[in-house]
């Protein structure tokens, strides 16, 4: 078995366990009325979906050779059922992360108005729009491919694989431009800007801490460092690697 597959399975399992624990903690809190909790709960759920579909992908990877001997072209099927849904949930997680960073930023910039701006009802509507739009942008992708039995001239047998519609190339081109390039870039820039504003606001607040200045400065520095570190981890480059592989695979069909 490939080392990357073993490492991928380990990371997915560990992530699923940790996110499941986080979900149980959020559900025990008053998430229906707390905007921070409901946003983090939504982010945790989308991350669980990303990890779950990634685990399915890695787990099925060693079965490609076995499936081929039984008339199943597992590679394209993996892309159809595992890679694309994983990308969909990743986009939802990215947009939810933007909402989390915006919420934290407003807490520092507008501490007296944040509760009136981001009410529980508004936050739930925003989360609903994030999930709805995230799913909607992938409907054309799923609709432009389908399972089919295809004759393999080399093996002289019929195999189960995935076929593409005539408009698939246009659909995937539009998807790559919007989701892979524009959406991910916009999300990362927004998170970085929000974190920069948050860090600047925390640093300015230290100037007004006259009493216990050393302790306050240390606390603010810790919060700022944590915010910057979180941004670095979240701003992972979103390359169109999977989409490029999917396009090449589709062109060969």
Distance CA 190, CA 170 (A): 28
Q: What is the pLDDT of residues 154-189, one digit of tens each?
A: 777 889 999 999 999 999 999 999 998 999 999 999
Q: What is the DSSP string of 67-89?
A: HHHTTB-HHHHHIIIIIHHHHHH
CA 70 centroid distance within chain: 34
Between 193 and 210, the more confident residue is 193
- Which residues contact residue 15 at a Cβ distance below 8 angstroms, ignoring those fewer than 6 apart? 47, 51
Residue 65's Cβ-count burial label (10 Å; 0-12, 13-18, 19+) is exposed
State the pLDDT at residue 232: 55
Residue 154, classed as helix, strand or coil, is: coil
Q: At what angle do helices 241-252 and 168-175 cross, to 10 degrees?
A: 170
Tell me what the mean pLDDT of segment 125-143 comes to: 96
Cβ atoms of 179 and 171 within 8 Å: the answer is no
State the pLDDT at residue 226: 53
Q: What top-level class would CATH report for the domain 73-252?
A: mainly alpha
Q: What is the pLDDT of residues 46-66, one digit of tens each?
A: 999 999 999 999 999 888 888
Least confident among 26-40, 93-107, 139-153, 205-219: 205-219
State the pLDDT at residue 110: 85
- How high does pLDDT run on average in the chain? 83
The angle formed by the CA atoms of residues 167, 49 and 129, to the nearest 5 degrees, is 65
Q: Is the pLDDT of residue 211 over 60?
A: no
Per-residue pLDDT band at 112 (split at 50, 70, 90): confident
Tell me what the mean pLDDT of segment 11-19 comes to: 95
Comparing CA positions, the residue from 46, 41, 50 lying closest to residue 12 is 50
Distance CA 193, CA 197 (A): 6
Give the predicted TM-score (pTM) of the model: 0.83
The structural domains of the chain, with segments of one domain joined by +, span 73-252
Q: Is the pLDDT of residue 77 over 90?
A: yes
139-to-15, 36, 108, 110 alpha-carbon distances in Å: 27, 30, 38, 38
State the pLDDT at residue 107: 86
């Amino acid at each position: 078995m490939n080392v990357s597959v073993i490492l991928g399975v380990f990371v997915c399992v560990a992530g699923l366990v940790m996110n499941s624990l986080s979900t149980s903690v959020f559900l025990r809190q008053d998430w229906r009325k707390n905007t921070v909790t409901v946003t983090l709960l939504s982010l945790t759920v989308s991350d669980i979906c990303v990890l779950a579909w990634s685990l399915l992908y890695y787990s099925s990877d060693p079965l490609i050779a076995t499936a081929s001997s039984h008339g199943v072209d597992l590679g394209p099927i993996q892309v159809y059922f595992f890679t694309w849904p994983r990308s969909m949930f990743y986009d939802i997680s990215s947009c939810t992360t933007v909402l989390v960073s915006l919420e934290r930023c407003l807490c520092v910039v507008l501490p007296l108005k944040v509760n009136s701006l981001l009410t529980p009802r508004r936050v739930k509507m925003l989360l609903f729009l994030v999930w709805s739009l995230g799913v909607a942008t992938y409907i054309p992708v799923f609709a432009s491919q389908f399972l089919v039995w295809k004759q393999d001239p080399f093996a002289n047998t019929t195999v189960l694989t995935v076929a593409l519609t005539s408009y698939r190339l246009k659909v995937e081109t539009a998807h790559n431009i919007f989701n892979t390039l524009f959406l991910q870039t916009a999300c990362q820039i927004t998170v970085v800007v929000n974190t920069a504003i948050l860090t600047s606001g925390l640093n300015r607040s230290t100037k007004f801490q006259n009493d216990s200045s050393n302790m306050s400065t240390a606390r603010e520095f810790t919060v700022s460092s944590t915010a910057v570190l979180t941004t670095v981890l979240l701003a992972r480059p979103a390359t169109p690697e999977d989409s490029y592989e999917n396009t090449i695979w589709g062109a060969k069909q």
